[in-house]
A and B are shown apart, each in its own frame.
Chain A
Amino acid sequence: MPTVIVDVMPKDMLLDPQGKAVAGVLTRTGHAGISGVRVGKRFELTVDEPVTPEMHRQITTIAHNILSNSVIEDVVSIRVGTTHEQ
């Protein structure tokens, strides 16, 4: 069954304490050359039928209204793909 992948990231201008903590542990464990980490979310929506333009529109609405909060996050991509297990 097709999967639609939605990626959501905290807004660029907002502090991402989670990313900062991960960046901190990279430095502590000796991984040089990485100056920053930001942590976002990936949603995998399993769709029953092939993804029609109508379904894509529906998922776009879901992505903006439910999966993300536009005050603090951005939807950075919506694409048809495969689940990470496949």
Chain B
Amino acid sequence: MRIGVITFPGSLDDRDAARAIRLAGAEPVALWHGTPDLAGVNALVLPGGFSYGDYLRCGAIAALSPIMSEVKRAAKSGMPVLGICNGFQMLTEAGLLEGGLIRNDHGAFICRDQELQIENTSTVWTNSFTPGGRIVIPLKSAEGGFTAPKDTLDRLEGEGHIVLRYLGANPNGAQRDIAGITNAAGNVVGLMPHPEHAVEPGFGPDTDAAMRSGTDGLGFFTSVLRSLVGV
């Protein structure tokens, strides 16, 4: 299975995402924002970073990149698409996910290992998690406050489109503690925390067992593989 990772000017975590894909057992394919060609990949990751220096709005200029019309077409035809952090911002800017992300309510960049509740295990990116399970992966962002009009929030909640919620103190003012959402079809998921930074023992968050041994992020990548091979 081939999973594309799109690099935009200012992407930071594209190589980490590619590494996570490889560790999960798939083949990462490097894609470039300026080339409107998905190279026949089976799924896509829009990685974190600061595309275009967060100019205009986070993810706004990247959402108008040449490759994004292909991404939109693929997403609408059911291809799995995961947006991480800046990638999540791009998906909202591109209209593939609802809501928007605004500056953290406390005004500061936050970087910490974040405990999350898995709210939806029926998406292609979360089907290998346990319903109601808890995971810890890094959160590192300045504009992670998920927001949407109240009726949209009610609908997201009512239809089970909230995929992840922050546990403990809300880190950024996200409404209803929302850390990640999905589209109705469950193939497009966006989240602010970074699963790709918690995929390999020795380089992940601390756990009760050992320092930096956390690999909870791997589940996102094994989930999509499971969806793609149909087991």
A17 interface residue per 8 A CB criterion: yes
Chain B proximity of A68: nearest CB distance (Å):
8
Report the nearest B residue to A24, measured CB to CB: B107
- The CA of A59 and the CA of B175, in the complex, are separated in Å by 32
Q: Mark B78-93, 1 if CB is under 8 A from A, else 0.
A: 0000000000000011
Identify whether the interface residues of B are mostly helix, strand, loop, or mixed: loop
Chain A proximity of B130: nearest CB distance (Å):
32
Report the nearest B residue to A43, measured CB to CB: B56
User: A69 touching B107 by the CB < 8 A rule?
Assistant: no
Q: Mark A19-51, 1 if CB is under 8 A from B, else 0.
A: 011000000000000000000000000000000
- The CA of A10 and the CA of B103, in the complex, are separated in Å by 11
Instruction: List, in ascending order, chain A residues with CB within 8 A of B1's CB.
Output: none
User: A71 touching B64 by the CB < 8 A rule?
Assistant: no
Chain A proximity of B107: nearest CB distance (Å):
4
Chain B proximity of A9: nearest CB distance (Å):
13
A5 interface residue per 8 A CB criterion: no
B57 interface residue per 8 A CB criterion: yes
State which size class the interface on A falls in: 10 to 19
Instruction: List, in ascending order, chain A residues with CB within 8 A of B64's CB.
Output: 66
- The CA of A43 and the CA of B64, in the complex, are separated in Å by 18
User: A18 touching B92 by the CB < 8 A rule?
Assistant: no
User: B100 touching A69 by the CB < 8 A rule?
Assistant: yes
A55 interface residue per 8 A CB criterion: no
Q: Which of B56, B102, B148 has the most chain A CB atoms inside 10 A of its CB?
A: B102
Chain B proximity of A39: nearest CB distance (Å):
10
Interface residues of B (CB under 8 A from A): 56-57, 60, 64, 92-93, 98-100, 102-107, 145, 147-149, 173
Interface residues of A (CB under 8 A from B): 10, 14-18, 20-21, 66-67, 69, 71-73
